[in-house]
């Protein structure tokens, strides 16, 4: 059609170069199973590389074992073994025969003669520099030559075995537990709204190690398990059909349990790198021993070279375990739309008023009626909760986000009932014990704060500071925990790291930040840890509630005062022998001189008590008695100062509870308790 009135004919295409345009392909909707998705996106769950994959596998197996033991209130015993598998052994395991290289130039680690000469010359120069630095006393770094060369074809494989004394698993459930990615039945073994909600991260990673293992080496997983009072051991060898997300069972049988063993043992062969992540894995095990001193760990690394074997036992130090977290109601401001829908489906309450009262904290009857009135004329207290439409549920969610709800932060008893029951902190006792057990510091100060609220979720911060210790480097050593799980990566932007580095003037406590060995331990326990980033390895510094709770300065001030008091006592006791000898020498010489008649008048004017001198002459006062009297005086002064410190700190310490003492006798006779600075008297 001519639109512009032009008489020009359209341009003809050149002959021989015209092509029929391709028809667009019909769009294809491809569905992937969860296992298949994470097989392609392993970095989301911490499987970025072979080294971190080995670390993450150990971490998830250990934490699953701890959880299994704690769930039945059993003191955990966890054994972890990493066995290095050489190339020849691995090939025999999968049924391959070793084959010599034929075309060397085909391989990635092939070097030409010229390239080899150049590399050797570079290594020789590096070794010469290393020798000079060693003579000058400078730090010597490992050269590339000493590290060795390994081609990509020489992948390292490891057999990781984790054994525990926990609950065990039902025989028929094992295939689905380990042969399906993200099995909901296995994942939700903990009640909702407890501090084990962090397991959304753990189970994400735990299921990914199964996918990583099967995708990298093709070897099946082996599981042995036995439950309490079970006469057999369940054994299962399986792998995963990644595309269909179902278990592929090789062996599933019951074996004799002659020793009445209970627990679980998981064995998996995985591609990894022990050399690069050795320090991370050992550091993780040590931190687990700090935060769980009630557990016993045995770690073994078995190498092809026996001299590289590692065996470390982390002994149990206490039998005091944290309380098992209990399920509590949700805070209205913390629920999302999907959770409200699920609660409506699962509730046993008939009407909306009962639903609001019994499914959420801090909503009483009168406040529930006010909320229903605010929702509009379509809502009523007696309306059936199951009949709520999608639009009405959205309205409830919107009101929950906008309305004001009290935080469970009233008196201490209320705080215990509403917050602590759904949390399972390590406890100040365990934290202090763990630090002493693993670091052997010169001084430890620990603190366990009260519960706070962030976005409707309660959280507790426990902190510890140590000075000195064994195998502790100079400067700040920061240990971070989230729900009693060590966090080893991405600590630069973490609220704990920034607080310790930028908000504390360590010199005010007579601590040298660069020269002293300082350990900073902070454990945050919550029903929802506010992680930043997909890795979930750090807590942001922009959360005011948590940043305020992590107040290390206020937590260690009084502990440092107590430390100074202890140091004064140590100093006095250190010089007690010298002081005793000097004082006794003076009074002994004075007593001898006074015995001389020609100097009697002179020594009658001396400051020394005449009675004391007579007792010295009569051997009633000896050097040993004088030392004993001085030691008792030091203890008395120290005791009085400690009482004064305890009185001052006790007045301001929170929380406090009133106590009631009642005599068991019909006619109570209370005895006064006397102290150098007070009398404790009970009145009828």
Backbone angles phi, psi at 324, to 5 degrees: -70, 130
Beta strand 475-482 with 517-526 is: parallel
Angle between the 610-617 and 576-594 helix axes, to the nearest 10 degrees? Answer: 90
536 is in an annotated binding site: yes
Type and span of the H or E element at 212: helix 199-217
Rounded CA separation 434/411 (Å): 31
* Nearest of 237, 53, 238, 87 to residue 157 by alpha carbon: 87
64 is in an annotated binding site: yes
Place of tokens 């001189």: 593
The CA-atom distances, in angstroms, between 223 and each of 110, 177, 230, 266, 489 are: 41, 11, 16, 5, 30
Rounded CA separation 296/342 (Å): 40
273 is in an annotated binding site: no
Rounded CA separation 315/317 (Å): 6
Rounded CA separation 634/656 (Å): 32
Contact 562, 645 (CB under 8 A): yes
Angle between the 274-291 and 50-70 helix axes, to the nearest 10 degrees? Answer: 20
3-state helix/strand/coil string of 320-388: CCCCCCCCCCECHHHCCHHHHHHHHHHCCCCEHHHHHHHHECCCCHHHHHHHHHHHCCCCCCCCEHHHC
3-state secondary structure of 158: strand
Residue 250 corresponds to which tokens in the numbers above? 């090789």
Sequence-distant (≥ 6) Cβ neighbours of residue 45 within 8 angstroms: 38, 56, 204, 205, 207, 208
Sequence-distant (≥ 6) Cβ neighbours of residue 571 within 8 angstroms: none
Longest dimension (CA), the chain: 151
Classify residue 482 by its DSSP letter. Answer: E
Burial (0-12, 13-18, 19+ Cβ within 10 Å), 45: buried
Classify residue 46 by its DSSP letter. Answer: T
3-state secondary structure of 531: strand
Backbone angles phi, psi at 279, to 5 degrees: -65, -35
* Nearest of 598, 580, 588 to residue 618 by alpha carbon: 588
Rounded CA separation 581/623 (Å): 7
Vertex 644, ends 433 and 463: CA angle to 5°?
Answer: 30
Binding residues for ATP: 64, 164, 536
Binding residues: 64, 164, 536
């Amino acid at each position: 059609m001519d639109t512009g009135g032009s008489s020009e004919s359209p341009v003809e295409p050149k002959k021989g170069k015209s092509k029929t345009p391709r028809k667009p392909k019909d769009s294809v909707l491809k569905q992937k199973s969860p296992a298949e998705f994470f097989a392609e996106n392993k970095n989301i769950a911490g499987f970025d590389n072979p080294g971190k994959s080995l670390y993450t596998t150990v971490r998830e197996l250990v934490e699953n074992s701890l959880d299994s033991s704690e769930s039945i209130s059993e003191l955990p015993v966890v054994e972890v073994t990493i066995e290095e598998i050489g190339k020849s052994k691995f090939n025999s395991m999968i049924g391959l025969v070793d084959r010599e290289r034929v075309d060397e130039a085909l391989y990635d680690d092939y070097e030409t003669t010229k390239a080899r000469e150049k590399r050797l010359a570079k290594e020789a120069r590096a070794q010469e520099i290393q020798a000079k630095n060693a003579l000058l006393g400078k730090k010597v770094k490992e050269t590339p030559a000493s590290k060795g060369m390994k081609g990509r074809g020489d992948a390292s494989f490891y057999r990781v075995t984790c054994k525990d004394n926990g609950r065990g698993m039902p025989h028929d459930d094992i295939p689905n537990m380990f042969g399906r990615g993200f099995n909901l039945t296995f994942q939700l073994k903990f009640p909702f709204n407890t501090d084990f909600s962090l397991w959304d991260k753990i189970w994400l990673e735990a299921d990914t190690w199964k996918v990583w293992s099967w995708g990298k080496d093709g070897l099946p997983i082996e599981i042995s398990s036995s439950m309490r009072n079970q006469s057999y051991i369940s054994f299962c060898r399986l792998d995963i059909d990644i595309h269909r997300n179902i278990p592929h069972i090789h062996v599933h049988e019951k074996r004799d349990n002659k020793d009445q063993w209970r627990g679980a043992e998981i064995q998996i062969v995985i591609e990894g790198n022990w050399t690069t992540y050795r320090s991370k894995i050992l550091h993780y095990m040590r931190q687990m021993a700090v935060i769980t001193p009630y557990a016993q760990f045995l770690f073994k690394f078995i190498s092809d070279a026996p001299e590289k074997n590692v065996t470390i036992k982390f002994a149990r130090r206490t039998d005091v375990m944290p309380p098992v977290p209990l399920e509590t109601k949700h805070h209205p401001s913390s629920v999302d739309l999907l959770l409200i829908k699920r609660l409506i489906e699962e509730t046993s309450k008939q009407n909306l008023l009962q639903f609001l009262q019994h499914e959420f904290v801090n909503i009483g009857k009168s406040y529930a009626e006010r909320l229903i009135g605010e929702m509009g004329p379509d809502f009523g207290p007696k309306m059936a909760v199951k009949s709520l439409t999608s639009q009405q549920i959205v309205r409830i969610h919107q009101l929950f986000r906008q309305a004001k709800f009290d935080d469970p932060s009233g008196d201490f008893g209320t705080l215990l009932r509403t917050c602590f029951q759904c949390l399972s902190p390590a406890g100040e006792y365990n934290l202090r014990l763990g630090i002493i057990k693993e670091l052997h510091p010169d001084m430890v100060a620990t603190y366990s704060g009260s519960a706070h609220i962030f976005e409707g979720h309660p959280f507790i911060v426990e902190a510890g500071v140590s000075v000195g210790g064994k195998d502790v480097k100079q400067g700040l050593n920061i240990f971070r925990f989230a729900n009693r799980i060590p966090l080893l990566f991405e600590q630069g932007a973490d609220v704990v790291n920034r607080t310790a580095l930028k908000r504390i003037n360590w010199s005010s406590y007579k601590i040298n930040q660069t020269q002293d060995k300082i350990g900073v331990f902070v454990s945050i326990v919550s029903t929802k840890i506010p992680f930043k980033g997909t890795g979930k390895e750090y807590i942001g510094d922009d959360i005011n509630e948590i940043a305020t709770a992590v107040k290390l300065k206020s937590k260690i001030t009084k502990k440092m005062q107590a430390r100074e008091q202890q140091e004064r006592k140590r100093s006095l006791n250190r010089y007690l022998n010298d002081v005793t000898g000097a004082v006794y020498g003076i009074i002994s010489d004075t007593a001898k001189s006074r015995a001389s008649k020609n100097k009697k008048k002179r020594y009658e004017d001396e400051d020394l008590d005449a009675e004391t001198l007579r007792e010295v002459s009569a051997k009633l006062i000896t050097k040993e008695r004088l030392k004993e009297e001085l030691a008792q005086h030091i203890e008395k002064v120290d005791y009085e100062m400690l009482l004064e410190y305890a009185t001052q700190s006790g007045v301001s310490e929170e929380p406090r509870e009133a106590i009631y003492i009642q005599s068991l006798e019909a006619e109570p006779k209370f005895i006064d308790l006397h102290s150098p600075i007070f009398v404790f008297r009970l009145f009828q």
